[in-house]
Amino acid sequence: MNNNFENNMNETQFEDMRQQLNTLKKKLDAQEIVNDRLVRRSMRNEVNNITRRYYIIMAVSLLMIPYGYWCFVVLSHLSLAFWIGTSIFMLICGGATFYNCQKISDNDMMGRSLLEARKKVASAKKFEADWLKFGIPAVILWLSWFFYELYQNNSDATMEAFFWGGCIGAIIGAICGIKIHLKTQRQYQDIIDQIEDLTADQ
């Protein structure tokens, strides 16, 4: 009789433990779902901020084509070749930005696996970093051409005014460009870190 009682007690305790484990598993599963949703929401906000910035860059790149004609050809009397070269450079910048934007603006990206989303974000981050290898030399070459055009086409007084205006514009542009680049890289890394934290045990 005592053995039966002990067996019943053991079965009852085992059943209680099993129910507790099931309850704990459900809580953990629910917590994982909540974490997944929070990460995806945070990712979506970060991606929206980046794509919004990319759209502004693309718009500026396109607007610089007609503005460049007025500023460089009509106002400053620089060569038509310089304006064409500037326009091509702007189109390359806008095209590269559009290409990278497409990687992360995929509407289904947030609905796919986090590992696949991480791969896309890491690819966009790398492209953004690698772009500097082309962008910085290209800007230096463009500035050199700009100052040469000023030297060739303007009087001393006018050239000096445009020269210092170009220098100040280049410095402001460089500071803004570096700040935008670092902020974008930081946001990309934040997304990657969040995904890695959530998928560390998977």
DSSP string over 94-153? HHHHHHHHHHH--TTGGGS-HHHHHHHHHHHHHHHHHHHHHHHHHHHHHHHHHHHHHHHH
Would you state the structure tokens that stand for residue 123, as one six-digit string? 């690819």
Cα(189)–Cα(118) distance, integer angstroms: 10
Name the DSSP class of 70.
I
Q: In the chain, where are the structural domains located? A: 1-31, 42-198
Closest CA to 71 of 151, 156, 149: 149
- Reduced 3-state DSSP string for 60-72: HHHHHHHHHHHHH
pLDDT at 113: 73
Cα(79)–Cα(146) distance, integer angstroms: 10
Cα(62)–Cα(174) distance, integer angstroms: 19
* CA distances (Å), origin 7, targets 3, 16, 18: 6, 14, 16
Cα(92)–Cα(94) distance, integer angstroms: 5
Which parts of the chain register pLDDT below 70?
1-36, 39, 106-112, 154-159, 200-202
pLDDT at 5: 47
pLDDT at 201: 54
pLDDT at 150: 82
User: What tens digit of pLDDT does each residue of 16-68 get?
Assistant: 666 666 665 655 555 555 566 776 777 788 888 899 999 999 999 999 999 99
